Amino acid sequence: MRLAIVTAYPPSKVTLTEYGYHLVKHFRLQKEVTEIILITDRTEGAKDVDFEEDGCKVTVKECWAFNNYTNLIKINKVISDTKPDAVFFNLQFLKFGDKKIPAALGLMLPFICKLKGIPTISLLHNILEQVDLENAGFTSNKVLQKAYNFIGSTLTKFVLASDIVAVTISKYKGILEKKYKSKNVALVPHGAFEIPPEPNYELKKGPKQVMAFGKFGTYKKVEIMIEAVELIRQRTNEDIEIVIAGTDSPNTPGYLDTMKKKYAHVGQLRFTGYVAEEDVPVIFGDSTVVVFPYTSTTGSSGVLHQAGSYGKAVALPDMGDLGILVKEEGYRGEFFEPENTASLADAIENILMNDAYRVQLGRTNYKAACSLPMSDITQMYVDYFRALQMTKSPGFNIDIVKKEKELV
């Protein structure tokens, strides 16, 4: 199978870049995949497709850009020229831009592939029905929110034109099946990017690191974490370093620079900027606790899976998708009330001051991550593609694929 994967890819700063990297890394190790056609966004630096493990050929096609109005045309042309046997889309609603038109046009691509008759799977990391439009940086205007929801429903139908739409949270599957009467929605777990050898859970010498990782400024706010650590410092003698690892969200450029100025008086506060893929193990490995300073959620959390794979204790709000993910996939953490600085301070302190508890959380999260490695997730997708090739016909129903998948 020659598989085309449409995704952002390092060193891109576009959303889902890290997930795209690990999709390619593990798809290429599947024996059924003979070539990957990586249809990705243009970047100044070269794409990193030199993997340690031997695998299939990866052909890079840089043809689209964030907020470009011609993305649909350019990606469609690459698909037509390369003639892949199957196409995989790594999607969320702001994948191709944070402006309405380019974002919408990009999400029409699964429908275009359907018209071409190419077996297509779209992984949809979030659905608009579960996005807090105000907290996620879309709009606080109630009229515009209704307009966004209408547009979002229309675009969801274009994505649902895929042979299979994969979602990572069971609640999403239920919503899509109920609202859109869809029969082609599959629940496929997010998966852990890497499964390093189990750590010894010992802390390195020096200050204990309280770390947050991601793209900040919309629903990920660093103020609450910085102020929570300041509270802990006032009531304990713990030596704590605050680490903000990542960049601004595309919707909030300049946010982290503003935070640097606002909290310039705070000691042992470090902003790392963009974290390259090879530096991720160091950032997580050095941390004592990984914090999720979220005001809302917009899908399954790659950061939680990364924290688990490195055996880290986490402090997170018991809300929305995070709460569901913890219950469904076996992760554990110290919960706090969203947007409550005192509650977050208590959660972080409970982990910092109780080493046995920290280790217990880390072990549990490592075990949860190990149960769903990305190699297993990509194998599930390959099985779906094989079943699609056997059952490709009008009136396709995912129940047929499930039966075929059991056979293969």
> Cα 8–91–193 angle (5° rounding)?
65
Same domain, 380 and 343: no
In a domain, 202, yes or no: no
pLDDT of residue 327: 75
In a domain, 203, yes or no: no
Same domain, 326 and 220: yes
The four Cα atoms 165, 108, 151, 140 give a dihedral, to 10 degrees, of 90
In a domain, 200, yes or no: no
Q: Is 343 exposed, middle or buried (0-12, 13-18, 19+ CB in 10 A)?
A: middle
Q: Does an H or E element contain 405, and which? A: helix 398-407
Q: Quickly state the pLDDT bin for 126 (edges 50, 70, 90).
A: confident
Task: Extract the tokens encoding 269.
Answer: 């506060």
DSSP string, 59-74: EEEEEE-TT-TTHHHH
Q: DSSP letter at 244?
A: E
In a domain, 197, yes or no: no
Same domain, 183 and 328: no
Same domain, 336 and 403: no
Same domain, 144 and 8: yes
* Matching residue, tokens 């129940």: 399
Same domain, 218 and 163: no
> In the predicted model, what is the mean pLDDT of residues 311-331?
82
pLDDT of residue 70: 96
Q: In which domain, by residue range, is 212 found?
A: 208-370
pLDDT tens for each residue of 281-296: 999 999 999 999 988 7
In a domain, 196, yes or no: no
In a domain, 312, yes or no: yes
Q: Quickly state the pLDDT bin for 320 (edges 50, 70, 90).
A: low
> In the predicted model, what is the mean pLDDT of residues 264-269?
96
> In the predicted model, what is the mean pLDDT of residues 253-269?
96
Q: What is the largest CA-CA distance in the chain?
A: 67
Same domain, 45 and 181: yes
Same domain, 123 and 169: yes
Same domain, 155 and 224: no
Task: Extract the tokens encoding 380.
Answer: 């599930």
The domain that contains 87 carries what CATH number? 3.40.50.2000
pLDDT tens for each residue of 343-400: 999 999 999 999 999 999 999 999 988 888 889 999 999 999 998 887 765 444 555 4
> In the predicted model, what is the mean pLDDT of residues 335-345?
93
% of the chain with per-residue pLDDT over 70? 88
Same domain, 104 and 212: no
pLDDT tens for each residue of 157-188: 999 999 999 998 888 899 999 999 999 999 99
Tally of domains within the chain: 2
Q: Assess contact for 45 and 80: CB atoms under 8 A.
A: no
Same domain, 312 and 395: no
